[in-house]
Each structure stands twice: as C-alpha cells, then as structure tokens.
Amino acid sequence: MSASVRKLLGFCFLLLVAGHETTTNLLSNGVALLADHPEIRDQLRADPDLVPLAIEELLRYDSPVQGIGRTLTREVELYGQQMKPGESVLLLFGSANRDDRAFPDAEVFDIGRSPEPPVALGRGIHFCLGASLARMEARIALDALLANPAFSWDADLADAERLRSGPIRGFASLPVR
C-alpha cells in the first residue's frame, strides 16, 4: 500500500471516529440534560428558534470532547509556566468551558447566555472540520425529539451508564422510550 493511500485511509478513519463518537454523545448528553430540565424543554417547544442556542450551551456545559493531547512545536509561556518545544500538553476543553472568567455561573445550564462561543470544537487551524455538520445533526435530532409526542422524557438516569473514557464524555447506555 502506497504512503498516499495509507494517508487517505488514515484520514477516513479519523473522519469516522471524529464524526461518530462526538455527535452521538452530544445527543445523549442533550437528552439527559433535557430530561432533567422540563422547563427548558417547554421553552424550546414554544420557540424552536432557541434550539441552536441550546446546542451551543450543550456543547459548553457537557462537552463531548473533554480534552485532546498536543505536542508543542514552539516555546510557550502561559500564566508564568514555561513550556518547551516537544513537550506534551493536554487541552482541557471541558474545563475551559466551565471557567467562570469566560462563562459567569459556569455550573448553570442556561440557554439564555450571551453567545460567547464555547471551545468545545477547538480553536485555530485544527478547529473541528465537522462543526457545521455536528450542529446541523444536533438541530435535526433535537427538533424531531422535541416535536415527537411519543418520545418519553422520563429517562431514568439511575439506569444510565456513563462512558468510561478519558477524552469523551457521554453515555454507554441511556435507556429512553
């Protein structure tokens, strides 16, 4: 297999994993949160134009990708900490999204925040390639669930099982009807 075919297959694999685990868990985190917040469900049903704001808040509050490791290519100083090229760092998106300096009352799920963009999809040249697709998928799925009278929001969170994963936050199982 040539190097370019290997590279292409590697990229397809990245797309599969990056595009699947993430959005799936954005949705399961969203269902669990909305199961817990009937008042927000009612608000979204009354005004579906609020769903995109709810998705941004969901990305912030329960970031499906909590962190990613990176290797520094140059010297960096951050809050007095000197770091050298070649050193490994861990970017904790989930932690940044709960930083009160950027998001007042960060521990509160509030779809009415002024839209300071969360860092759940990264920043800079590696910003998530699938960001628009992820937002669109979440919009379609949440609109459909909110509009479906047969969907029961009485998710029994006691029966839910969290994913045992470092970087990904979501559910291995979330029984709903």
Residues at the site binding ligand HEM, with contacts judged by CB under 6 A: 14-15, 18-19, 22-23, 26, 64-65, 68, 93, 120-124, 126-130, 133-134
Q: Under a CB-based contact definition with an 8 Å cutoff, are residues 54 and 44 in contact?
A: yes
CB of 129 to ligand HEM, least distance (A): 4
| Partners of 161 in beta bridges | 173
Residue number with CB closer to ligand HEM (124 or 149): 124
What count of residues does the chain have? Answer: 177
* Alpha helices for the chain (secondary structure H): 3-36, 38-46, 51-61, 93-96, 131-147
Residue number with CB closer to ligand HEM (48 or 130): 130
Please give the Cα distance from 110 to 29 (Å, whole number).
Answer: 15
Residue number with CB closer to ligand HEM (106 or 129): 129
CB of 47 to ligand HEM, least distance (A): 23
